Structure 1
Amino acid sequence: MHNSRIVSKVKPLALCISWLFAAFCYFWQTPPAFAHSFSHTSGTMIASIFSFSGKRPANLGVKDGKLQPCPGSPNCVSSQSTDKEHKIEPLQYNSAPAEAFAKLKAVIEKTDNAKIISEKDNYLYAEFTSALMGFVDDVEFYIDEAAGLIQVRSASRLGQSDLGANRTRIETIRTQFNS
């Protein structure tokens, strides 16, 4: 009985080692260009398997001076929210709205894993992708000229908790915007 447990644990290990040895032998003799191409293709394939991007929301944008409200889940923050869990302060600017927009856009463009999806006169929408698992968060900015503020909303597409990632992101953007 004791030997059968050892054999059952050794078999998968031996199989794994033999597979790795075969892969090593194959790539050791493979032309470098093919090996390079394969490694980049396989990396992309593995990343896509573990990607949790979700579907881009169709209801984003500004309607009557308001961004979409946060859902009931805690993985969203908004400067226009009234409840404590989702509330975050808007960004403040002391320049012309167009200058503030340009500065904000520059901050977003310099941010790793950020991609600007849409921009209009007073609105900017970007997607932020987590490096490890490919989770996508939708982040919106609305230049509220009447109030002299930039309203913000950052929401995760998937899951319930973001472990504070959306709040941290907005605070990081605020720091960079104010510097």
Structure 2
Amino acid sequence: MAFSREGRLSECAVDTNCVLVEREVNEVKKSYEDLLGIGSQLPRTKVLEQTNNYWHAVVRSLVFRFPDDLEILQIPNEKVIQVRSASRVGVSDLGVNKKRVDSLFSRLTKD
């Protein structure tokens, strides 16, 4: 679990293999549940932890099976959702984590 002391997801230590996005949403609980549904359906995804406010999974790349951590946190009192996607291996992810997070939020707004 990558939490900072402020009860938020940790900042990215290396910005070439990690992305952290924070969005204000109108319906935090619904947006959180929808994101969990979308995240759980990603190919090669294994959920490691799920609570009322936090979700953590490992998503593996297609060819080399590199593991990426995908985390979703809802902060209801601020009407905020945070999504963090970070590679466990290597310095560069070739933009995969940013594309993953952008896709999650894009699919959320389509529903």
TM-score by length of 1: 0.56
The answer as to whether partners of 1:92 and 1:150 remain within 8 angstroms in 2 is yes
2:11 is matched by which residue type in structure 1?
A: P
Matches within 5 A, 1:99-114: 99-114=30-45
* CA distance in structure 2 between the partners assigned to 1:121 and 1:64 by the alignment: 18
Residue aligning to 2:10: 68
Structure 1 equivalent of residue 19 of structure 2: 77
Aligned amino acid, residue 169 of structure 1: R
Q: Which residue of 2 aligns with 1:94?
A: 26
Deviation at 1:129, TM superposition (A): 0.4
3-state SS of the aligned residue for 2:78? coil
CA distance in 2, matches of 1:100, 1:131: 27
Contact kept? 1:62, 1:142, Cα under 8 Å = no
Q: Aligned equivalents of 1:71 and 1:141: distance in 2?
A: 18
What pairs with 1:2-21 in structure 2 (closer than 5 Å)?
none
Which one is further off, 70-79 or 132-141? Answer: 70-79
Query: Which structure carries more helix by proportion?
Result: 1
C-alpha spacing 1:130/1:155, structure 2 compared with 1 (3 Å): same
Runs of at least 5 residues in structure 1 that lack an aligned partner in the other structure: 1-58, 80-89
TM-score, structure 2 normalization: 0.87
Cα shift readout 1:44-66 (whole Å, capped 9, x = no counterpart): xxxxxxxxxxxxxxx52464322
Amino acid at match of 1:151: Q
**Runs of 4+ deviating beyond 6 Å:** none
Give the total of aligned pairs. Answer: 110
Q: 1:105 to 1:62 in 2, by over 3 A?
A: farther
What residue is the counterpart of 1:24 in the other structure?
none
Percentage of identical aligned residues: 29
Structure-2 change in CA distance of 1:117 and 1:167 (3 Å): same
Q: Distance in 2 between matches of 1:111 and 1:62?
A: 26
Q: 1 or 2, which has the higher strand percentage?
A: 2
- List gaps (5 residues or longer) in structure 2: none
Pick from 91, 105, 109 the counterpart of residue 174 of structure 1: 105
